[in-house]
């Protein structure tokens, strides 16, 4: 695993360490059955897992091809311990494809319980499964697509065009004011107590930093004067790449909410946020999300704030970068 330099937020989904061995994708035999083949089953963002008696969760890598004679495409995810790992997306529950003994769990809920090598495989499998599920016909002529390159390319039967997996960049930012308070918001589509930092997709022809400035202005009417890149992580629900930033507002501006997107928003001090989380009036993102990492970065701890996490001293708080 390569060591990352510079500021980088750490989540369970940033510590990825499997060997994708992409050069093997052009070899047809890489998808063949064999003693060295293992299969990872996914469905609509969920992955097959096992849970031991002590509660440890790991991926279920099956020895037998789970497709039961159907034609679901295989995707070569890479190698682990000399074994080829192949992903299979099951489209919907059925007697043939849904073994009652298989434990499929939403990756968003279990990703932070997986070791990095498992998380890496699961993220790729879920993302590729979503792509194969939604990308069945050529966008130019409407004909059926056939999988090539071990599932990583789809080719049109009619015009020969190639189609590749799509990744949508999205920025997510912990915005601070001149009192070092953090801006948290509840999206109009979030459940009642759930608050997080702001986020949004990057538009065509836009820089990442420009997307940070635009999204904050649009959603809460705040002008961002400085941004600092902090790290990235995949979020394949269905196909995002999250790019995390610290951001600073000029002064302590009043918030003007984009009503169809933001139900409520406010500036929090560290003590205020801890108190509200402990009281149950605010719920924060889970530990596998970059949003939670940005909140913990501001708090100065990786611990749950409801569990007595310490605060940053004045000398330890990150300085605002110069514009």
User: Do 216 and 120 fall within a single domain?
Assistant: no
pLDDT over threshold 70, residue 235 = yes
Q: How confident is the model at residue 218 (pLDDT cuts 50, 70, 90)?
A: very high
The CATH number of whichever domain residue 173 belongs to comes to 3.90.79.10
pLDDT over threshold 80, residue 115 = yes
Predicted pLDDT at 317:
40
Q: How confident is the model at residue 88 (pLDDT cuts 50, 70, 90)?
A: very high
User: Do 280 and 210 fall within a single domain?
Assistant: yes
In Å, how far from its chain's centre is CA 110? 12
Token pair 């569990």: residue: 307
User: Do 98 and 208 fall within a single domain?
Assistant: no
The model's pLDDT over 278-289, given as tens digits with 9 standing for 90+, comes to 999 999 998 888
User: Do 190 and 107 fall within a single domain?
Assistant: no
pLDDT over threshold 90, residue 4 = no
Indicate the range of 103-112, 117-126, 301-310 predicted with least confidence: 301-310
Residues whose CB is less than 8 angstroms from the CB of residue 32 and which lie 6 or more positions away in sequence, other chains included = none
How far, in Å, CA of 35 to CA of 65, rounded? 11
Instruction: Quote the mean pLDDT of the chain.
Output: 87
Between 159 and 3, the higher pLDDT residue:
159
The model's pLDDT over 140-176, given as tens digits with 9 standing for 90+, comes to 999 999 999 999 999 999 999 999 999 999 999 999 9
Token pair 């065509």: residue: 204
* Mean pLDDT confidence for 259-266: 93
The CATH number of whichever domain residue 82 belongs to comes to 3.90.79
pLDDT over threshold 80, residue 313 = no
Cis peptide before 238 (omega within 30 of 0): yes
The model's pLDDT over 176-212, given as tens digits with 9 standing for 90+, comes to 999 999 999 999 887 789 999 999 999 999 999 999 9
Predicted pLDDT at 272:
97
User: Do 117 and 155 fall within a single domain?
Assistant: no
User: Do 155 and 242 fall within a single domain?
Assistant: no
User: Do 287 and 179 fall within a single domain?
Assistant: yes
* Mean pLDDT confidence for 245-269: 94
* Mean pLDDT confidence for 254-270: 94
Predicted pLDDT at 312:
29
> Which domain covers residue 155, as residue numbers?
135-166
User: Do 128 and 188 fall within a single domain?
Assistant: no
Q: How many domains does the chain have?
A: 3
Predicted pLDDT at 98:
53
> Which among 110, 134, 158 is the end of a domain?
134
User: Do 253 and 140 fall within a single domain?
Assistant: no
pLDDT over threshold 70, residue 75 = yes
User: Do 30 and 104 fall within a single domain?
Assistant: yes
Indicate the range of 202-206, 269-273, 318-322 predicted with least confidence: 318-322
Residues whose CB is less than 8 angstroms from the CB of residue 154 and which lie 6 or more positions away in sequence, other chains included = 132, 135, 145, 146, 147, 148, 162, 163, 164
How far, in Å, CA of 188 to CA of 89, rounded? 31
Q: What is the DSSP track for 21-55?
A: -GGGGG-GGGGS--TTEEEEEEETTEEEEEE-TT-
With respect to residue 286, please indicate whether it lies within any of the assigned structural domains.
yes
Burial group, residue 77, by CB count within 10 angstroms (0-12, 13-18, 19+): buried
The model's pLDDT over 6-58, given as tens digits with 9 standing for 90+, comes to 567 777 677 666 788 999 999 989 999 999 999 999 999 999 999 998 989 99
């Amino acid at each position: 695993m390569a060591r990352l330099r510079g500021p980088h937020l750490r989540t369970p989904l940033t510590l990825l360490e499997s060997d994708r061995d992409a050069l093997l994708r052009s070899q047809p035999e890489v998808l063949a059955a064999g003693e060295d083949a293992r299969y990872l089953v996914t469905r609509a963002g969920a992955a097959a897992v096992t849970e031991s008696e002590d509660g440890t969760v790991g991926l279920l890598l099956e020895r037998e091809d789970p497709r039961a004679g159907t034609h679901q495409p295989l995707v070569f995810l890479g190698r682990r311990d000399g074994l080829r790992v192949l992903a299979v997306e099951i489209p919907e529950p059925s007697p043939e494809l849904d073994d009652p003994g298989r434990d499929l769990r939403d990756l968003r809920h279990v990703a932070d319980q997986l070791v990095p090598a498992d998380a890496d495989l699961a993220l790729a499998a879920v993302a590729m499964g979503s792509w194969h599920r939604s990308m069945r016909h050529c966008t130019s002529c409407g004909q059926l697509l056939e999988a090539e390159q071990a599932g990583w390319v789809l080719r049109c039967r009619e015009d020969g065009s190639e189609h590749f997996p799509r990744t949508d960049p999205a920025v997510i930012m912990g915005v601070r004011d001149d009192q070092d308070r953090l801006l948290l918001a509840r999206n109009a589509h979030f459940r009642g107590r759930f608050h997080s930092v702001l986020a949004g997709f990057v538009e065509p022809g836009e820089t990442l930093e420009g997307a940070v400035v635009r999204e904050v202005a649009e959603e809460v009417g705040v002008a961002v004067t400085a941004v600092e890149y902090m790290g990235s992580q995949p979020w394949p629900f269905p196909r995002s790449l999250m790019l995390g930033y610290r951001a600073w507002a000029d002064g302590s501006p009043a918030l003007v909410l984009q009503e169809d997107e933001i139900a409520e928003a406010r500036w929090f001090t560290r003590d205020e946020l801890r108190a509200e989380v402990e009281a149950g009036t605010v719920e924060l993102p889970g530990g596998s999300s970059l949003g939670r990492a940005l909140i913990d970065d501001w708090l100065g701890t990786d611990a749950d704030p409801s569990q007595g996490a310490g605060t940053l001293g004045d000398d330890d708080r990150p300085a605002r970068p110069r514009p």
